[in-house]
Amino acid sequence: MEKAHSVHEGKGYCGTCYKREFKKIPCEQCGKTMRTLGGVGPAICKTCRTVDRKCVRCGKDVPRAGLIVEEGVVCSSCAKHFKEPQRCPVCGQLSLYLSRDLKNGFTEPVCQQCRRKGHINCPCCGKNRRPAGVTTDGRVVCAKCLETDGQPFVCPKCGKTGKRHSSTRCEACYWEEYVEKKLRAAVSLLSHSWAKDAFSKFVPALIDRVKPQGAAMRIERHFLFFAKLDACFASPAEATSVAMTSIFGQDGLRRHGAAYGFLVKEGVIPKQSADEIKAADAVIKQMRMVDACSGAWYHDIIKGFYTHLDQLSARYAKRGWTGDRTRFGHRTIIAALRAGIKFIASLDQEKVHSVQQIEQIHLDRFIANNMGYRHAVRAFVRYLNKTQKMFRKLKIDSVSTNLPPHIFLGHDRYVVLLQEWLNPTDETLKESIICLLMLLYAQRGNKIVRLRLADIMHGNDGSYRMQFGRTEITLDRRIGALFDRYLPARKALATMEDAWENAYLFTGRAPGDHLKEAAVSYYLKKYNVTAEQLFSTSILYAYLSGLRYPKVLVKAFGITDFTAIKYMNLINPRMRDELESKMAANG
């Protein structure tokens, strides 16, 4: 039998045997006559089986299968992806794409790389094509461009000069049509009118920002954001900061910053500041940490501890410690809560199942094994001592926090860094300004990233002034020159935001947000220095320049009294003489 008339369960049947073995019965869905082995029913005919059949790779309807695999059917376009790769007879590489090219002399199927070896990137249209000839100005071009002697392509659709996509349109028109097609398909999938209207307005704004091709590459990712909003909120008024953060998380809102920023800018959803989003995200994290203890013997204790921390935070806020001056904020609560949960959960290994069984040795052992939690667990220990009936109060011994002298940068290293940061390229301009503010004015990274444009003042004499502490400081002229370069070139990192809309000196990737501390850490890592080294060296050189009293440091740099005294105790006159002699020896 050269070819089977029918194949059933891997066995082939000729025409005669097929008619004898396969009896006629009606299809249970459409009623048409069909054949089954032995006339066994009920059964479905081939036509009914192919209704709503989808390709397992691309999901398109497959009325006629290009290939049948174990997972289902594959359309003709996707069938090549399920075949075994074959070796190219020319280069020997395995490839799924083998084809003949009689014009180039390939009578046997070869890979695309071998087939296109003689092709060039046309200097006129940019496409990889077979060279067709030379223009009058000596350029080797493809056949299409040779017809016009390499003249710029004028799009018949828009009338503008651009790169050719086909004979009827330029690349910009092609990508615009592609985006419009995607937009129509996406809008039809949204159910609420407000979401449809918002997405329809967002896409043209995205095209203005990143050009049609860039919008085509991003539209599907942005649609997922709008689809989730459409599924979760019947109206945009429901999209509060807590609701948005609970669904996407703070990191999710950052990743979808372009779409989220557009909705806020257009007033579609309530305006939420970066601080509100961070606060909502922190509250959600705190609640999850408490809920994770559900079912444990210490759940009520952790729940009460969280309430206690929340009350402390509210008390600080009521007394005016808010905004940039926040004390006992959400980060402090999370750190204390995490340390308390870790400590009390570790007691299960000690076979402790009630507060009355906790002893000092348990706390000492926990701190010895988890040195990083020594300070964070103090709040939980104070809470236990104050609110729980314990046989003996717990205590954490204080540890001296004197600074080691090796945290200062050497004089040579100080000079090299100073010269490099005072003469930056355009690419390193921003990071150089940040590092200089840390090295010369003892500013912490978390404070620098929160500087606003309003914090820097430009005088009539061309100088710049900033207020780090209680008094204004006139910045060094060389740093002022860097600000003259940075401010005109300052850009918003968020896709749908302009620089003038962001109030921070160093803009972040989320709309209306500032640069993150992680970016500052990245900058310092590039130069192999730490924030503590820059801070300590700044205090040292301020001391050597004549700032000898803690109160002067407090007023000038805005550091706390405790920090100023701690550094002054380290940099005493005896050490100053020693450091000066070392620096003189280093040249």
pLDDT of residue 569: 62
The predicted pLDDT at position 409 comes to 87
Q: How far apart are CA 492 and CA 512, in angstroms?
A: 9
Topology of the domain covering 405-585: hpI Integrase; Chain A (1.10.443)
Residues in the chain: 587
Can you list the alpha helix ranges (DSSP code H) found in 509-549? 517-526, 531-544
Q: What is the pLDDT of residue 9?
A: 79
Q: Taking the domains of the chain in order of start, what are their residue ranges?
A: 6-82, 87-172, 173-272, 278-387, 405-585
**410-414: Cβ within 8 A, 24+ apart:** 410/583, 410/586, 411/582, 411/583, 411/586, 412/586, 412/587, 414/439, 414/537, 414/541
Report CA torsion sign: 484, 488, 494, 495: negative
pLDDT tens for residues 400-440? 555 565 778 888 899 999 999 999 999 999 999 999 999 98
Rounded CA gap, 6 and 105, in Å?
40
Closest CA to 504 of 434, 416, 429, 576: 434
On the CB side of 89, how many CA atoms lie within 13 Å of its CA?
8
pLDDT at res. 554? 65
**Smallest Cα–Cα separation from 511: which of 197, 269, 218?**
269
Q: Is the dihedral of CA 306, 311, 317, 319 positive or negative?
A: negative
* pLDDT for the residue numbered 431: 94
* pLDDT on residue 582: 47
∠ Cα 286 288 294 (to 5°): 115
- Spans of the chain below 50 pLDDT: 574-575, 579, 582, 586-587
In whole angstroms, give the CA distance from residue 358 to residue 337.
18
Q: What is the distance between the alpha carbons of residues 178 and 160, in angstroms, rounded to a whole number?
A: 18
Residues 6+ apart with CB under 8 A from 536: 403, 407, 408, 567
Q: Tokens representing 463?
A: 């100088």
State residue 399's pLDDT score: 64
DSSP secondary structure letter of residue 194: H
Please, are residues 144 and 167 in contact by the beta-carbon 8 Å criterion? yes
Q: For residues 435 and 417, is the Cβ–Cβ distance under 8 A?
A: yes
The tokens for 493 are 């990192």
Task: State the pLDDT at residue 587.
Answer: 45
